[in-house]
Amino acid sequence: GGGNDKEVTVGAKNFTEQFILAKMTEIMLEENDFSVDMADNMGSTALRQALESGEVGVTWEYTGTGLITYNDEEPISEKDEAFEAIQSIDAEQDITWTNPSNIDNTYTLVMREADGEEKGIETISDLADYINENPEEMEFATDAEFGNREDGLPGVEETYGFEFGNSQVNEMSYGLNYEALNNEEVDVAMGHATDSRIEEYNLYNLEDDEQFFPSYHASVSMRTEVYEEYPEIEEILEPLSQELDGETMTGLNYQVDIEDENVDDVARNYLQENGFIE
Ligand code: PBE
């Protein structure tokens, strides 16, 4: 700290995992004499625009989101293949991808265990059959992003051949989807694979038997001018990105979403316990 001129803005979306990753990044960079501004609470598209405009310098982004949502590319399942594809496509837009982690935060469809067992629904194909036989019965909870993204509800419905009626689609802020399902206000909800509420509320992920959802490995995505000015950012974050995986991330999300700990404490404790900071 004090009188340094290495400045960077870290951006984040509007859910816990993003807050934690951004906070860890802030702490790690500050330890290395950066002064860091935070710009969080954005939807995916807003965050991408902020990165493109230069308002934000460094983010954690998901490979599948980069390919499908920002570049209209075909989804890719294999981790390294997806990373290398988005890395080369985004290079042309002055965005540099580094530090692929093993956090695969894919989208998922979730139901209550007991209800799914009763209805005999294990896979998304089972759900499609059920909905086609019982139209307008199943209520669905989603955030606006999943409801509208090509790699979200429209794509799932097209791939599996079913459709929720308009009045069955209940749009709400991300997070409330799990509450609505748990409270039996809806029967199916969208989810993020690393969200701890799935297990905590005895929900389960429907098997994506047509493999519609690709991989979404959290990786650092930054402006190329930031990368070129501060190539050390990649090195500073590398040990962290190597250590983080889906199970670890779900556990950190649990501390915030279920145990009500604050993001700053969770991020700092993790970094200390793993020897990334003192
Ligand atoms: N995801 C799942 C979404 C939200 C979590 C990674 C596909 C995204 O932020 O792009």
Interface pTM, i.e. ipTM: 0.96
pTM for the complete prediction?
Answer: 0.97
- 7 forms beta bridges with 35
- Among the atoms of ligand 1, which is closest to the Cα of residue 193? 2
pLDDT band at 1 (very low <50, low <70, confident <90, very high): very low
Q: How far apart are CA 61 and CA 221, in angstroms?
A: 6
As a dihedral over the C-alpha atoms of residue 65, residue 70, residue 73, residue 79, rounded to 10 degrees, the angle is: -30
Q: What is the pLDDT of residues 56-77, one digit of tens each?
A: 999 999 999 999 999 999 999 9
Residue 5: per-residue pLDDT:
87
Residue 65 CA to ligand 1 centre (angstroms): 7
**What letter does residue 195 receive in the DSSP assignment?**
-
Q: In the structure, how many helices (H) and strands (E) does the chain have?
A: 14, 10
- Among the atoms of ligand 1, which is closest to the Cα of residue 18? 9
Average pLDDT taken over every residue of the chain: 97
Q: How far apart are CA 37 and CA 8, in angstroms?
A: 6
HEC profile of 128-178: HHHHHHCCCCCCEEECHHHHHCCCCHHHHHHHHCCCCCHHHEEECCCCHHH
Residue 278 CA to ligand 1 centre (angstroms): 31
Residue 66 CA to ligand 1 centre (angstroms): 10
pLDDT for 160 beyond 80: yes
Q: How far apart are CA 226 and CA 59, in angstroms?
A: 11
Q: What is the pLDDT of residues 81-101, one digit of tens each?
A: 999 999 999 999 999 999 999
- Regarding the beta carbon of 213 and ligand 1, being less than 6 Å apart is answered no
Q: What is the pLDDT of residues 9-35, one digit of tens each?
A: 999 999 999 999 999 999 999 999 999
Amino acid at 93: Q
Residue 5 CA to ligand 1 centre (angstroms): 33
Residue 2: per-residue pLDDT:
52
CB 268 within 8 A of CB 27: yes
